[in-house]
Amino acid sequence: MIKGVIFDMDGVLVDNRDAHIEAFTRLFKKYGVPFDREKFMPSFGMTNDMIFARQAPELLERYPLEQLSLEKEALYRSIFEESIAPTRGLVDFLKSLKEHGIKIAVGSSGNTNNVNFVLSRCRIAEYFDAIANGDMISHGKPDPEVYLLAAKLLGLKPEECVVIEDAPVGIEAARRAGMAAVALATTFSRDRIPDYDILVDDFTQLGYEQVMHLPAFADRPVQVEN
């Protein structure tokens, strides 16, 4: 029986792919490093240390990771603050989960400042019972640490939780944590998202009943379309 829902943040609570890409583009340009969008996309959902190590290891040889991360995330927030909004249908879905007594957590690779930025600007902080973020873990996705921590903070077993994700590395983390997975086709197109239990475009296509019956869907993925 599902008792908790754990939400990834980037691409799930907010559709912010392009803001992150723009922030990395500006940062890399400043330091004279080319930014390859296609090369970057498989890293979406990982922590900054993993992204910089994959995309621009030469920068880590010249500058501290903390400096680069702080600068990139400040750029991201300045870019996104004018257009930030909850993903379509999110608030109604959160309300429905709360009405049915379901515990809710964030499980994000993002840092504390970014999580607080999203929850406060979207006015959804009140719906969350726990937060696990990139500042609280040693291993980023696809390692399952952040989702196992989120379940622990909710006081639930992994098998009692479902993860809502947008990125392949996040879905892998959910699977490795022993959790069901709902995928949102926000950051990636439907054909590039693997190993989900339910696939939707946004939260208007997802309801409480679907989530509660996820164990029955375990071996037959379902795509939901308008």
Q: Look at residue 155 and give its three-state secondary structure.
A: coil
pLDDT at 218 over 50: no
The answer to whether the beta carbons of residues 105 and 150 sit under 8 Å apart is yes
- Which element (helix H / strand E) includes 194? none
The predicted model gives 147-163 an average pLDDT of 96
- Mean pLDDT across the stretch 163-179? 95
8 is catalytic: yes
Q: Taking 50 as the threshold, does the pLDDT of residue 152 lie above it? A: yes
Average pLDDT, the chain: 92
**pLDDT computed for residue 217 by the predictor:** 44
By CB atoms closer than 10 A (0-12, 13-18, 19+), residue 224 is middle
Predicted confidence (pLDDT) at residue 224 exceeds the cutoff of 90: no
Dist. CA 186–CA 200, nearest whole Å: 9
| pTM, full prediction | 0.90
β-strand pairing of 130-132 with 103-107: parallel
Q: Which of 8, 10, 143, 197 is catalytic?
A: 8
Q: Which of 36-50, 79-93, 99-113, 154-168 shows the lowest mean pLDDT across its residues?
A: 36-50
Q: What is the pLDDT of residue 226?
A: 53
Q: Give me the helix-helix angle, 145-154 and 168-176, nearest 10°.
A: 60
Residues 6 or more apart whose CB falls under 8 angstroms from that of 117 comprise 77, 81, 84
What mean pLDDT is predicted for residues 185-211?
93
Residue 216 above 70 pLDDT?
no
Task: Report the pLDDT value the prediction gives residue 214, as an integer from 0 to 100.
Answer: 79
